A = this chain, B = another copy of it.
Amino acid sequence: MSVDMELAPKTKRAAGEPCCEPVVYPDVDRDRALRLATVAKALGDPIRLQLVDVLRKHAGKVCVCELVPLFDIAQPTLSHHLKKLRDAGIVDSERQGLWAYYYVLPGALDDFAGWLG
């Protein structure tokens, strides 16, 4: 891979002139970048990533009491992570009596996966 010479700024230029003309632009606008980054940020913690991994690979909804023993963290911490994933729109929950069941929202990761190619 070599430097694209069309993008190489000219070495000599008038004082005050910017070093080069901008020729590249992001394909993702600010709003979409914000949405994509929100998902990425939610996945940017090992425990949350494993949580999503478990929920994604299991068809159906998983009881929180199943998730607690999988990680070496206190119950409030797990609850905090689940809330983060819910706030990011990746998972949702459903209560049944005492227990809460979590599941990955269908298509929640599609946009991100699509951007990632």
Binding site for B on A (CB under 8 A): 1-4, 7-9, 11, 18-20, 22-28, 30, 33-34, 36-38, 40-50, 53-54, 56-63, 65-67, 69-70, 94, 96-97, 99, 101, 103, 109, 112-113, 115-117
What are 22 residue pairs bridging A and B, where the CB atoms are less than 8 Å apart in the complex?
Answer: A1-B61, A3-B60, A3-B101, A4-B58, A7-B58, A8-B96, A9-B63, A9-B99, A11-B97, A19-B63, A22-B66, A23-B66, A24-B57, A24-B66, A24-B67, A26-B53, A28-B49, A30-B46, A36-B46, A37-B49, A41-B45, A109-B117
Distance between Cα atoms of A63 and B21 in the complex (Å): 11
Interchain CB contact under 8 A, B116 and A109: yes
